[in-house]
Amino acid sequence: MYIVTDYSVAVLLCVVTMICWGSWANTQKLASKEWRFQLFYWDYAIGVLVLSLILAFTLGSTGNAGRGFLPDLQQAEGRWLGSAFLGGVIFNLSNILLVAAIDIAGLAVAFPVGVGLALTLGVITTYLARPEGNVALLALGVGGVVVAIILAAMAYSRLASKNRKMPFKGIALSVAAGVLMGFFYSYVARAMGEIQVQGADATLEAGKLSPYTAIVLFSCGVLVSNFVWNTIAMLKPFHGEPVPLMDYFTKGNARLHGVGILGGIIWNLGMSFSIIASHAAGPALSYGLGQGATLVGALWGVFVWKEFKEAPPGTGKLLAAMFFFYLLGLGILITSRL
């Protein structure tokens, strides 16, 4: 299997993760013009699993280093398979809440508040699971992100007070999504074994999972739990009328289904690169840097989707300060491993 051992390559993969995690939601924005987010989300979950299987049978099964996907799956202990699967279940609930928040409040708010909070909690929980990196710099970097979260909430409050349209529901859903999302990564990281690299050879800890197997089990958790979480979201939506399941078959077309699957592939490409990079970068940094997606998502929301074009004067200064503190926090997170 392919293993990343160089720190600079690991950081590059984390940057790709940041771009993927910050950009996949554009597919939802495109699809939401024609059908509800719950219908989009079925295709999204399928895309997540498809990408994981492609990687498992390619990068995860080639070369002499470590174990191939199928041998690794056969030797894995049930508790670690369950841990990675549970990570997918937790993530899926949090992501459905995040998608609902995007639907209500937009990318420029849901990402800084929800994903920013997830970054804060995720770095902490992942570091506790596998303590790697400079804890003081990790804490300082997270502090910069927390300031950015507060500024994003302040900017949204100004917009909401002007529009008087569901001013608090979007932030409430973002906060709930962020709290849950802050815990899922540690379950996946805990399930992966230590990798000992010696020249061109690498050995994996017995009983635990390779990064590629962990991604597949995580993705299975996403798709299987979707039959629970997304079904509830369809029957009891956060706003609007219930969504009939048959709408997925009667109102969808090849383009809409393709957009949803593409969204899942983009997101899981980021997740996979984050997991693959975690050996060289450390899981806390790998997760934290990837969650710079908050900055990317906010940029899409502000400059492409124009979600703050009707905001009152002075809001732009809050958004500029938000971007500054995100960049500051992310820069400190990168140096925490040097």
Residue 2 forms part of a structural domain: no
Spatial distance between the Cα atoms of 105 and 296, rounded to a whole number of angstroms: 16
**Count of domains in the chain?**
1
* Cβ atoms of 60 and 272 closer than 8 Å: no
- What's residue 200's pLDDT? 63
Highest mean pLDDT among 43-47, 175-179, 250-254, 284-288: 43-47
Give the tens place of pLDDT for each residue, 139-154. 898 888 788 878 877 8
Residue 319 forms part of a structural domain: yes
Residue 12 forms part of a structural domain: yes
Neighbours of 198 (CB within 10 A): 8
Residue type, 284: A
Spatial neighbors of 8 by CB under 8 A, at least 6 apart, are: none
- The answer to whether residue 76 scores a pLDDT higher than 60 is yes
- The answer to whether residue 101 scores a pLDDT higher than 90 is no
Spatial distance between the Cα atoms of 121 and 127, rounded to a whole number of angstroms: 10
Residue 240 forms part of a structural domain: yes
Give the tens place of pLDDT for each residue, 303-313. 888 878 888 88
Mean pLDDT value across residues 20-30: 89
- The answer to whether residue 199 scores a pLDDT higher than 70 is no
- What's residue 79's pLDDT? 97
Range of the domain at 291: 7-335
- The answer to whether residue 169 scores a pLDDT higher than 90 is no
Mean pLDDT value across residues 25-34: 87
- The answer to whether residue 245 scores a pLDDT higher than 50 is yes
The tokens describing 7, both together, are 């720190």
Mean pLDDT value across residues 99-108: 79
Q: How high does pLDDT run on average in the chain?
A: 87
The tokens describing 223, both together, are 């798709």
Residue 1 forms part of a structural domain: no
Under the phi-then-psi rule, with left for phi > 0, alpha for psi from -120 to 50, and beta for the rest, what region is 197?
beta
Mean pLDDT value across residues 314-322: 90
Residue 153 forms part of a structural domain: yes
Mean pLDDT value across residues 236-262: 93
- The answer to whether residue 164 scores a pLDDT higher than 50 is no
Overall size of the chain counted in residues: 338
- The answer to whether residue 257 scores a pLDDT higher than 80 is yes
- The answer to whether residue 81 scores a pLDDT higher than 70 is yes
The tokens describing 225, both together, are 């739990």
